[in-house]
A = this chain, B = another copy of it.
Amino acid sequence: MKQSYIIGIDGGGTKTVAAIARLDATIVAQVKAGPSNPNAVGFEQSAKVLLNLVDECCQKVGCKSNSVKKIVIGLAGAGREEDKQQLLKILKNLGGDSFVKKVILETDVRIAFEAAFPDNEAGIAVISGTGSIVMARTANQKFIRAGGWGKTLGDDGSGHAIARDAIREVLKSHEGRMVKTVLTSRLKKSFKLRSVDEIISYAAHHPIASFAPQVIEEATKGDTVAKEILMVHALALAEAVEIVRIKMQQKENIQVVCFGSLLEHRNFYSALVREIIHEMIPGVVIRKQKLSPVYGALLLARKSIN
C-alpha cells in the first residue's frame, strides 16, 4: 500500500517552516523558507511560499501530491476571516481545487497552542513576541482569549508595547518631562538616530519591537525605568491569564505555558511574568513548551483525519 502523509506549516513574518509526516505525525522531513505572513509579504507571495514548501516536502520524501492527505497551515496574519478567505482563494487559483480541499488554515497562535497542549487538555497559553495574546482551552474544548488587540489598540505585554512605552519614556526625558534615562543612548544606537526626535518619524514607518530585548537587558542591569515598564506589562499578561481562568471556571491545577520570543527563554521579563502569574493566581502550574509549533500543526492535521 502507498504511504500517506500530512504536512504542517508554521508561517511567520520572518520565516516559514514546513514538516511532512506520516499519518501518526512522525516527522519524515522538514524544510524552511522566508516569511509568509500575508500582511507582511502580500497574499500572492504568501500563497507562493506555502505552495513551494508543500512541493519541497513532497520532493524530500519522493511522494506525489495525492499522497498528502491534509495540510495544516498556522499563519501569522490569518486571524481575520476576510484575510483567511482571500488567501484560500489565491491558494485555490494557484494550487487547484483538490489542493485547497486538503488545507486547514489556522493562526500561528492556534498551532502553537496545540503544541503546548497536544492531548486536548484544558490549559492557558501566554504568548509574547512582537504581539501578545492569552489563549485558553476549557475542559470541554471551548477556546477563550484575552488581549491580542493588535498594535493600534495595544497588545499589552508584547514586545511592541514594551518598546513603545520605553520610547515614550525616552521622549518624555528628551522633552524635559522626566529625568535622564540610560534607555536614550540605547535607543539612539539601536535605531542609528542622530537625534532622539528622529524616532518619531522612524516609528511611524518601521517596526519598533526589536527594542524590547534591550529594555529587558537594561532592566537586568538594574535600570528603574526599564524595570517599571516590564512590571506594568507583566501585570497586564497576568491579568489576562486571570480573566481567562475565571471564564474557564477552573480553580486548581491550571496548566500554563509561556511562549513567544520574549517568554520562551530565561530572561528578566519572562521570569517576572512567571513570578507574577504565580503570585496573582493560586493553583497555576507553569509548564515548559516542549513541542514546536510546526508539530502542533501536524497534530491538528492528524486530528482532522481521525
Taking Cβ atoms with an 8 Å cutoff, the residues of A that contact B are 79-80, 82, 146, 148-154, 164, 167-168, 171, 175-177, 199-201, 203-204, 208, 239-240, 243, 246-247
Contact = CB atoms under 8 A, between A and B. Distances in A.
Given A152-B151, A154-B168, A168-B149, A243 B177 contact: yes
Copies of this chain per assembly: 2
A152 B243 contact: no
Given A176-B247, A177-B243, A153 B164 contact: yes
Contact of A153 (B79, B152, B168, B239): B168
Residue with the highest number of chain B CB atoms closer than 10 Å, among A152, A203, A240: A152
Question: What 7 A-B pairs come out closest when comparing CB atoms?
Answer: A80-B201, A152-B203, A150-B204, A146-B175, A153-B203, A149-B200, A177-B243
Given A200-B148, A203-B152, A243 B175 contact: yes
Interface residues of A: mostly helix, strand, loop or mixed? helix
**By CB atoms of chain B within 10 A, which of A168, A177, A208, A240 has the most?**
A177
Nearest to A176: B243
B80 A176 contact: no
A208 B153 CA distance: 10
- Identify the interface centre among A146, A148, A149, A201: most chain B CB within 10 Å of its CB: A149
Contacts of A171: 149, 153
B208 A152 contact: yes
Given A79-B201, A200-B149, A201-B80, A164 B175 contact: no
B146 A167 contact: no
A246 B175 CA distance: 11
Contacts of A246: 176
A151 B199 CA distance: 13
Contacts of A199: 153
A84 to B, nearest CB: 11
Contacts of A151: 152, 204
